Amino acid sequence: MPHVAVDPSTGRELYRVASTPLEEARLAAARAHAAHRAWWEAGFSVRGRHLRALAEGLRSSRDALARRMAGEMGKPIVEGLGEVEKCAWVCDYYAEHAEAFLAPEHADTAALRSGWVHRPLGVVLGIMPWNFPLWQVLRFAAPTLMAGNGVLIKHAPSVPGCAEDIQRLIDDAGLPTGLVATLFLEVDEVDDLIADRHVAAVTLTGSVRAGRAVASAAGRALKKTVLELGGSDASVVLADADVPSAAAECVRARMLNGGQSCIAAKRMVVVDALHDAFVDAVVADMRSRRSGDPHLPDTTLGPLARVDLRDALHDQVERSAAAGAVVRLGGEIPAGPGAWYPPTVLTEVGPGMPAYDEELFGPVAAVIRARDDDDAIRIANDTAFGLGASVYTSDLERGEAIARDRLHAGACFVNGMVRSDPRLPFGGVGISGYGRELSALGIREFVNVKTVWVEAAE
């Protein structure tokens, strides 16, 4: 089946891209494997030069790339421009730091010399989502390439233009022919590609369901995986928090990318003493969001990426309301074409409701009332997910201690929204996945940590 781009603001089909046959994908894996050795032997400075050229190409194409994202998945232009710049940043970051991150390590043993080195695994298959169609790819590809590996990109079917744009920019940056290949592979053929002898490892950003499927296939083939899956991040608002600033930051964290982010603030857990004032502030802020054409610079909320995703979100809202949640704002599908959904606020949310137990991927804020600070922390941890969490308090030392020791997640922020940064490791625990991207840890995920021991000849 072809990969189809549909404008989610109108429902109009934009274009189609033919699927990649499995045998062609296997040939691409073999070509990437053949190319990666020379790429590694070229050295860090050469690889870094190409990554910097890629960063330059991203920046020079920023307007067109932002328009592409607006058209294919509804991202507002202003957010798309920021995503492009972040992609350029991660390329520059690893071009500068990869050699230090992968420097040989010495160990003091009985040997004349001993330690370990980092060598590329070979070809890494990246299975990518639609919500950050440029950033998710470059987040894994930049460090993976700087480590000397080849890369296969299996992008989401709904953003084929973004996938082609990335491949064009990589080619324009002068990377070796065949080292990076974009594959429009069908989902039911991914397992066969994972098993291919030229694929050394797999990384996936996506749903829990997709993560389980990829982990199972990779496990059968004994391939290394890194999984960044869903989240139901909690924002804990303690009794000494500043309500206006906490509410504003929580809404910003909930509404980024139309709420279609794994690390969005999906559950706002607020102590009872602040609850009503916090809800009023959140409702006012959410109501002020400007929904409209994502191509316009003053739009702050575009459509969701697809109608089926919108309908699934609405079903979660309706089931939560049927179970006792109160819809304080929104909660109704607007008339007309497209994947539109209004800013929505649910209160009186509790266990057993989708808004409490599941990931809500869209502009829906679930506010949960807690008795006190300890109860709020308990509720924040009452989830199978573990991607990110945040805590709002005027006591920075206490907030840091709670983030460090009491919240169970891969990233915990104090008085700010959870976000990724090339300088910090990123990933989750529980059903939010395993492994880490970004920072020194991210580039070391797809290398062979090889022990080297040297003794003097007798």
Q: Which two tokens stand for residue 235?
A: 């924002």
Distances (CA, A) of 147 to 44, 103, 124: 8, 11, 11
Q: Please give the Cα distance from 152 to 136 (Å, whole number).
A: 13
Q: Please give the Cα distance from 282 to 287 (Å, whole number).
A: 8
Q: Please give the Cα distance from 57 to 52 (Å, whole number).
A: 9
Q: DSSP 3-state assignment of 425?
A: coil
Q: DSSP 3-state assignment of 188?
A: helix
Q: Please give the Cα distance from 159 to 65 (Å, whole number).
A: 12
Q: Please give the Cα distance from 277 to 88 (Å, whole number).
A: 40
Q: Which of 91, 262, 412, 437 is catalytic?
A: 262
Q: Please give the Cα distance from 232 to 107 (Å, whole number).
A: 42
Q: Please give the Cα distance from 348 to 369 (Å, whole number).
A: 7
DSSP string of 99-134? HHHT--EE--SSSSEEEEEEEE-SEEEEE--SSSTT
Distances (CA, A) of 40 to 26, 43, 179, 203, 275: 21, 6, 11, 20, 56
Pick from 252, 260, 258: which is nearest to 285 by CA? 252
Q: Which two tokens stand for residue 119?
A: 């060598």
Q: Which of 189, 228, 359, 437 is catalytic?
A: 228
Helices 135-146 & 44-60 angle (0-180, nearest 10): 160
Could you tell me if 260 and 248 are in contact, meaning their C-beta atoms sit under 8 angstroms apart? no
Q: Which two tokens stand for residue 111?
A: 């040997």
The distance from CA 344 to its chain's CA centroid, rounded to whole angstroms, is: 23
Q: Please give the Cα distance from 345 to 257 (Å, whole number).
A: 17
Annotation marks residue 262 as catalytic: yes
Annotation marks residue 189 as catalytic: no
For residue 318, what are the contacts with CB-CB under 8 A and spacing of at least 6?
331
Q: Which residues does the annotation mark as catalytic?
A: 228, 262
